[in-house]
Structure 1
Amino acid sequence: MFLEKFLELNIAIQVLAGIFLLSFVVQAFYYLYYYAGVIYYNRKLHRGDVKHRIKQPPVSVIICSKNEAENLEALLPTVLEQRYPEFQVVVVNDGSTDESTEVLDRYAKKYPNLYHTFLPIGAKYMSRKKMCITVAVKAAKYDHLLLIDADCRPDSDQWISEMVRNFTEKKELVIGVGAYAPKGGLLNKIICFDNLFNTMQYVGLALRRSPYMGTHRNIAYTKEAFLRNKGFISNLGEAFGEDDLFVQDVATKENTSVEIAANTVCYRDLNFKAFMLDKEQRMSTRSHYKFGIRMKLALDTLTRLLFLASGVALIIFLLNNPGCELFAAIAGGVIFLRYLMMSVIFHKAATILRERKSHVSFILLEILLPLLSAYLVTFGRIGTKKRSMWR
């Protein structure tokens, strides 16, 4: 009876319903298989099912900075006073004109394991950030490298220890988590939600043996892997890509690990300009991703938009057809089910990753972020290559 009633509907409504249900199935797969990966992995961590190395190898922490004297004042003590047996901190100062050199000199007198050098102001490179990292890697004394941005800070003195514990046999790359210190307001909700979803994406895919990016705010790899890949040689023509394109070059199914423990999360203060800069960088490098990764990300975006558009259109058409109220109610129930699933997964992931939690705003933010991405693809990226991008 139910099926017969459905088959009597207009063919356009049937096609719309098919698109709607197929999009729901694909979305459910992405959320339960990929994006809930943070939740599954956290359970494994608490059960002790994740293998970690016991021996603590010496580590070189790399920081690249440009006119960030104030940020260095805040960051250096949290890094230099980490509870770890043997490590050095390498800072590359990219031609700063503020008091960065004075700050570094002062800390170098107090901490003998701090080494700093510089990149001349007049040096011409497509990406000064990549050149700074290359200089730092060559200056590093140790094979295990841990990178953090100057405007970030680890929230624990166990950051080095818990990141490096993932360098077990055959592991050469550790993908960490970067978060924003939460503040009030819709704009800050957008930033935190976008960062949370982005983290769930790249961590989730890495856990499913499809690593495609990390964050320059918190990532570790071996010097051997960097040199074997000849640094950033494959993307020297790109202004960006020091984390995502590099990960695509180096990462394999076997050599990559992730770390999501609360002690390893690195925080950055909320800054809309830096956020937009990050978004533009991601948009500019995505076309260089491997085909399989591009298809996975595109399918999620496509089915997300199809689900929203077809769901709204389907309910409108059904409500305008007498006797179809039950079908409209079912469509509404499917929409509610997806957002319930999404809300639960986001809430649990936000708790684990120490991000901001907001059930109701998920719906609004899911609509706003594609619009923001569309803006960046069109007007937002005009003239970006002329800028000096650092974040």
Structure 2
Amino acid sequence: MDYLYISIVVILHICLLLQLYYVLVVYRKLAVFKAPDLNSQTNLPLSVIICAKNEVQNLKKNLASILGQNYPDFEVIVVNDCSNDGTEWFLRDLSLEHKNLKTVTINDHPRFKHGKKFALTLGIKAAKNENLILTDADCYPSSENWLSLMQRNFSDQTDIVLGYSPYEIKGGLLNKFIRFETFFTALSYLSYALRGIPYMGVGRNMAYKKSLFFKGKGFASHMHILSGDDDLFVNQNANSQNTKIEIHPESLIWSEPKKSLSAYFSQKIRHQGAGKAYKNQHKRMLSFQVLSGLLFYTALIALILVKGPWWIIASVFFIRLICQIFVYIPVLKKLKYIDLIWFLPVFDFIYYIYIMLLSLISIFRKKVEWK
């Protein structure tokens, strides 16, 4: 029992130190980051690209806010990917009102099946401008200054701009957990980008140069993976010199979250496959973070079961929690999710269980589709 007790205590404290490193060294980068005010004097020509497959209702709801951006020179390209819900006719009518709206249509083929990467590639090829802004049909900008804020980060050195896309705040625990997972994902990829280690981005709010896309041969190296049109592209093309983040409150892109647990899991499993193709450095980096969190809770529970001293259990748990609160509060404010701070102790534990279950499910569930 003494040997077991000592082993658990040692593992617990090692995991605590690792977790404190992630919280106080990595994530604190985002906590102290200050988004500059909107003071851009440049107005680079932009091409906004949206891929839509049977999204006519979302396009009716959201496209006007994108076409109505307070920006002098931009086009909006909607890739109509084999839709049969009236998308073609809606876009045709809307293009009569907005001359900067361009449609690329993909017709269904019985023997040729494709995913979003093919549709996005056609949209990028159709773009007349060098600087591309990407979002989805079910998304809408938080302000008419979205394009101004995203494009101000482009320069001769900056090829990629990582934005942030929160989910709408609605009732229910599922919505709260979806938003917590979104927060934690953003906390990680934005913080590492600030440390000069960009490893992913989210396609609902992201920008990059057309020349970079073709220089890296687009999605050719991972076209066989259904997901990854956003995170794998960033993983393969981003570096410490060519990537910036944009999290000004007016630059956010909001999206409607899934309403059922099954739909949410299907979405996350589809995304899970891309992680296997990350660079080895990034896979190790992220694996250590998740593994240290899982082992931290495992060792904590084990210490409770062997009836370890309560003061060790309490002190280790609250040291980590207090550090998290200290760092997470300013980040939650920046990312418009401050209400989640009250759920931190519970959702933090559930998150690691969720990651473990998601990994196990994705191993056995092979068949996934874009739409």
TM-score if structure 1 supplies the norm length? 0.89
Q: CA deviation at 1:125?
A: 5.6
Distance 1:99 1:32 in 2: 51
What do residues 119-152 of structure 1 show as CA deviations (whole Å, max 9, x unaligned)? 1111766642111111111111100000000011
Which of 49, 69, 72 in structure 2 is aligned with 1:82? Answer: 69
Give unpaired runs (5+ residues) of structure 1: 1-8, 320-324
Query: Which residue in 2 is equivalent to 1:291?
Result: 280
Greater Cα offset, 124-133 or 154-163: 124-133
1:20 aligns with 2:7: no
Greater Cα offset, 350-359 or 180-189: 350-359
Contact 2:31/2:328, CA 8 A, preserved across alignment: no
Distance 1:107 1:381 in 2: 43
Query: Which residue in 2 is equivalent to 1:352?
Result: 334
Contact 1:180/1:270, CA 8 A, preserved across alignment: yes
Query: Which residue in 1 is equivalent to 2:357?
Result: 375
Q: CA deviation at 1:26?
A: 0.7
Q: CA deviation at 1:53?
A: 5.9
Contact 2:69/2:146, CA 8 A, preserved across alignment: yes
Query: Which residue in 2 is equivalent to 1:6?
Result: none
CA gap 1:234/1:123 in 2 versus in 1, 3 angstroms: farther
Query: Which residue in 2 is equivalent to 1:110?
Result: 97
Contact 2:236/2:279, CA 8 A, preserved across alignment: no
Distance 1:383 1:307 in 2: 28
1:389 aligns with 2:370: yes
Deviation >6 Å, runs of 4+: none
Distance 1:124 1:267 in 2: 36
| Structure (1 or 2) with the larger CA radius of gyration | 1
1:231 aligns with 2:222: no
Q: CA deviation at 1:376?
A: 2.8
Which amino acid letter does the alignment assign opposite residue 145 of structure 2?
Answer: Q
CA gap 1:172/1:367 in 2 versus in 1, 3 angstroms: same
Distance 2:268 2:365 in 1: 15
Distance 1:20 1:123 in 2: 56
1:175 aligns with 2:162: yes
What do residues 279-316 of structure 1 show as CA deviations (whole Å, max 9, x unaligned)? 11332111111111111111111111111121232244
1:136 aligns with 2:123: yes
Contact 2:56/2:86, CA 8 A, preserved across alignment: yes
Contact 1:347/1:357, CA 8 A, preserved across alignment: no
Query: Which residue in 1 is equivalent to 2:21?
Result: 29
Q: CA deviation at 1:168?
A: 2.3
Q: Secondary structure at the match of 1:330?
A: helix
Which amino acid letter does the alignment assign opposite residue 63 of structure 1?
Answer: I
Aligned residues: 369
Cα RMSD (Å) of the superposition? 2.1
Distance 1:124 1:261 in 2: 45
Q: Secondary structure at the match of 1:242?
A: coil
1:40 aligns with 2:27: no
Which amino acid letter does the alignment assign opposite residue 16 of structure 2?
Answer: F
Query: Which residue in 1 is equivalent to 2:323?
Result: 341
Greater Cα offset, 180-189 or 334-343: 334-343
Distance 1:173 1:86 in 2: 20
Which amino acid letter does the alignment assign opposite residue 204 of structure 2?
Answer: R
What do residues 40-88 of structure 1 show as CA deviations (whole Å, max 9, x unaligned)? 212xx35x7x9x8632210000010010111001111101110111000
Alignment of 1:191-270 (within 5 A): 191-270=178-257
Q: Identity over aligned residues, as a percent? A: 31
Q: CA deviation at 1:107?
A: 1.2
Query: Which residue in 1 is equivalent to 2:298?
Result: 309
CA gap 1:250/1:35 in 2 versus in 1, 3 angstroms: same
1:186 aligns with 2:173: yes
Which amino acid letter does the alignment assign opposite residue 323 of structure 2?
Answer: M
Which amino acid letter does the alignment assign opposite residue 212 of structure 2?
Answer: A
Which amino acid letter does the alignment assign opposite residue 16 of structure 1?
Answer: I
CA gap 1:344/1:278 in 2 versus in 1, 3 angstroms: farther
Query: Which residue in 2 is equivalent to 1:277?
Result: 266
Alignment of 1:42-57 (within 5 A): 42=34, 45-46=35-36, 54-57=41-44
Query: Which residue in 2 is equivalent to 1:148?
Result: 135
TM-score if structure 2 supplies the norm length? 0.93
Contact 1:126/1:236, CA 8 A, preserved across alignment: no
Distance 1:374 1:166 in 2: 36
Q: Secondary structure at the match of 2:254?
A: strand
Contact 2:40/2:148, CA 8 A, preserved across alignment: no
1:120 aligns with 2:102: no
Distance 1:239 1:369 in 2: 24
Contact 2:303/2:313, CA 8 A, preserved across alignment: yes
What do residues 311-344 of structure 1 show as CA deviations (whole Å, max 9, x unaligned)? 232244354xxxxx4xx31331121121122233
Distance 1:116 1:282 in 2: 27
